[in-house]
Amino acid sequence: MASVHSTSEVGRDHRVVVIGAGIGGLVAALQLAQRNLQVTLIEAMDAPGGKMRQPVVDGAPIDSGPTVFTMRWIFEQIYQSAGRRLEDELTLTSLPVLARHAWGAQERMDLFADPNASRDAIARFAGPPEAARFMQFCRQAREVYDTLEGPFIRSQSPTLASMAGDLGLKGLAVLAALGPMSNLWDALGQHFHDSRLRQLFARYATYCGSSPWQAPATLMLVTQVELDGVWSVEGGMHALAQSLAGIAQQRGVEIRYGTTCHAIEADGGRVSAVMLASGERLPADSVVFNGDVSALTQHLLGEDVRRAAPSLSPGKRSLSALTWSVHAETAGFPLERHNVFFQSDYRSEFTDIFSRARLPQTPTVYVCAQDRGISDTVPERDRLLVLVNAPAEGSRTLTEPEIDTCESHSFSLLARYGLTISRTPQNCLRTTPGDFHRMFPGSGGALYGMATHGWMSAFARSGAKSRIPGLYLAGGSVHPGPGVPMAAMSGQLAAATLMAHLDSTSRSRRVVISGGMSMRSAMTAGTD
Ligand SMILES: Cc1cc2nc3c(=O)[nH]c(=O)nc-3n(C[C@H](O)[C@H](O)[C@H](O)COP(=O)(O)OP(=O)(O)OC[C@H]3O[C@@H](n4cnc5c(N)ncnc54)[C@H](O)[C@@H]3O)c2cc1C
C-alpha cells in the first residue's frame, strides 16, 4: 500500500542543532521551531546575543557590541512570523538625532532622522550648495539601495550572473551611474566638496568592517539604511537577543548556554552529530552553524566539515575594534546617543589598519552614550561604549604597549574636543582584537567576516547552503553580510534553505513511496 507523510511529520522527526546564539542563530532556531522541527541551540557563552553582549561594569550593564539599531522592518517580519508584534515585545524609540559628529572643540554637525533637518544642518555647517549636493547624494543612495535590496540582499546566494539578470536595464543603469569600478571614497567625491562631509559618509564603509578606499561605491546603501532611521532599544541591543531567545524557547527550542561545540561530525559525507567539549554527542539530521565561517575552514570544528566553505586568507579579514565599556561621569561635551570624533587624516587610519596591520596612530573615536538621545535628562554617570577601529589579528598579535598608546591617543582626542571621562580601572573594561578572537573563534578578531573590498567581494561570501550536505550557515560572515539586521536575515535564509531541502525531500519521498519503496529506506534517505 502506498503511504504518504506530510512535511510536518518529517519535521517532528528532524533533529537540528544550531551552534551559536548570535542573532543569526537565534532567528534560524526560532524559524525552524516554527516549522515543528526539533531544535537544540547550543551557545558557548552564558547568555544569548553573541556580539550583542552586555558585560556589567561597575554595576552597570553596558551594550558593548552593536549599538545602532536599523532596518526595523526586518525584525517586524521576524516577530510577525512568530505570531508576535515587535512593539509588544520591545520598547523601541526612534532617535531624532542619528549621530553627532565633531572635528574639533567647536566644529560639530548633527545628522537627523528628518532629511530636511539634516539638509539645514549641512547648509549651516558647509553652505547651501553642499546641502543641495547632500540631497542629491540621498537620491542616489536611495536608488542604489532600492536596486540592490531584491537582487542582492534578499537573494539566497547571488552571483554576478544572477544579479545581472535580476537587475534589469534600469538597475544596471543605476549601478553604471556610480562610475565603473569606483570605490566609495571616489564616489562620495562626486557629491561632496567639503572634505568633512565626504569623511562622514565614507565612515559608513566601516559598518561592514571595510575601508572607504577599497569598498565598492555601492556601499553607499549603508548610508541610506541609517538615513531611514535609527532606534534605541530599551534595555539595550542585548534585550533583542533575550527577547528572541525567550520566544524561541516558548516555541520549543531547547537552549543550552555554556555549551561549546567541539566538532561537527559527518557520516558518509552528511552531517550526523555535534560533539560537545564536554564529550557529549548530540545526534543531528541538520546543523546550522552561526559562528564565524573561518572556524570551519581552519579545522576548528573537526576534519569532517573543513571544506564546508571556501577558506579565507587572513589578509581579507574585516576590521576589528579596540573598545572600552565605561560607567563614569563625563563633562565638557554635549553627548548625543551616537557621537563620532573625527581626526583630519582619515586615510591614514585605513592605511595603518589594512596595509601596516597596526592600530591607527590617529584614530577616529566613536562614543555611544546609551542613556542619551531620548530625553534631555543627563545621567549622573554615563554608560559608554568607546570604540576605535583596529586590525584583525592576521600574522601578528598586538602588544600591550601598542594598545596602551592607542588608548592614550584616543582619550586625548576626546579631551581635545572637550569630552572628559572620569575613568578608573574599576569602571572601565577594555576589549582588544585578541579578546574578540577568543570570544569568536576563527575570526582573528574580525567583527564583520571578510572585508567588503572590491566589486566581487560581495559575491565571495558563502550562502546559507554549505558544501557539506545537512550543514547550513548563518551569521555576519556569510551572505548577506554583517550588521544585526543582515545577520538576522542570514538566519532566515538558513532556515528557509534547510526547509526547502526538507520539503523537496519530503515530496520526492512521497513520489518514491507511492511507487513502492519501503518506508524504512525512505526514512533513511538523505535530506539534501
Ligand atoms: C563592537 C561592535 C560594534 C558593532 N556595531 C554594530 C552596530 O552598531 N550595528 C549593527 O547592526 N552591527 C554592529 N556590529 C556587528 C554585529 O554585531 C554583528 O554583525 C552581528 O551581531 C553578528 O551576528 P551573528 O549572527 O554573526 O552572531 P555572533 O554575534 O557572531 O555570535 C555567534 C555566536 O556563536 C557562538 N559560537 C561560536 N562558535 C561556537 C561553538 N563552537 N560552540 C558554541 N557556540 C559557539 C559564539 O559564542 C557567539 O555567541 C558590531 C559588532 C561589534 C563587535
Q: How many CB atoms lie within 10 A of CB 50?
A: 26
Q: Find the mean pLDDT for residues 15-32.
A: 98
Residue 290 in contact with ligand 1 by CB distance below 6 A: yes
Q: If you take atom 47 of ligand 1, which residue's CA is the nearest one?
A: 44
Q: End-to-end distance of the chain based on CA atoms, in angstroms?
A: 26
Residue 461 in contact with ligand 1 by CB distance below 6 A: no
Residue 444 in contact with ligand 1 by CB distance below 6 A: no
Whole-number Å distance, alpha carbon 449 to ligand 1 midpoint, is: 10
Atom of ligand 1 nearest to the CA of 23: 25
Q: If you take atom 52 of ligand 1, which residue's CA is the nearest one?
A: 65
**Mutual orientation of helices 160-176 and 128-148 as an angle, nearest 10°?**
160
Q: Is 19 strand, coil or helix? A: strand
Considering only CA atoms, which of 98, 105, 142, 152 is closest in space to residue 122? 98
Residue 17 in contact with ligand 1 by CB distance below 6 A: no
Residue 19 in contact with ligand 1 by CB distance below 6 A: yes
Residue 487 in contact with ligand 1 by CB distance below 6 A: yes
338 pLDDT higher than 60: yes
Give the whole-number percent of the chain exceeding pLDDT 90: 78
**Which residue from 51, 69, 153 has its CB within 8 A of the most atoms of ligand 1, so it is best to mutate?**
51
Q: If you take atom 38 of ligand 1, which residue's CA is the nearest one?
A: 291
User: Which string of b and e fits 76-114 if b means at least 16 CB within 10 Å?
Assistant: eebbeebebebeebbebeebebbbbbbbeeeebbbbbbe
Q: How many CB atoms lie within 10 A of CB 130?
A: 18
Residue 23 in contact with ligand 1 by CB distance below 6 A: yes
Q: Find the mean pLDDT for residues 336-340.
A: 97
Residue 22 in contact with ligand 1 by CB distance below 6 A: yes
Tell me the C-alpha distance between 249 and 251, whole Å.
Answer: 5
**Which residue from 290, 365, 366, 486 has its CB within 8 A of the most atoms of ligand 1, so it is best to mutate?**
290
Atom of ligand 1 nearest to the CA of 321: 1
Q: What is the pLDDT of residue 509?
A: 61
Q: How many CB atoms lie within 10 A of CB 201?
A: 23
Q: What are phi and psi of 497, to 5 degrees?
A: -65, -45
Is this model's pTM higher than 0.85 or not?
A: yes
Banded pLDDT at 7 (limits 50, 70, 90)? very low
Residue 20 in contact with ligand 1 by CB distance below 6 A: yes
CB 402 within 8 A of CB 409: no
* pLDDT tens profile 253-263: 999 999 999 99
Q: What is the pLDDT of residue 526?
A: 33
Considering only CA atoms, which of 458, 492, 417, 439 is closest in space to residue 205? 458
Residue for grid cell 551569521? 475
Q: What is the pLDDT of residue 482?
A: 93
Residue 276 in contact with ligand 1 by CB distance below 6 A: no
Whole-number Å distance, alpha carbon 51 to ligand 1 midpoint, is: 3
Whole-number Å distance, alpha carbon 50 to ligand 1 midpoint, is: 5
Whole-number Å distance, alpha carbon 66 to ligand 1 midpoint, is: 9
* pLDDT tens profile 287-309: 999 999 999 999 999 999 999 99
Q: If you take atom 34 of ligand 1, which residue's CA is the nearest one?
A: 20
* pLDDT tens profile 106-148: 999 999 999 999 999 999 999 999 999 999 999 999 988 888 7
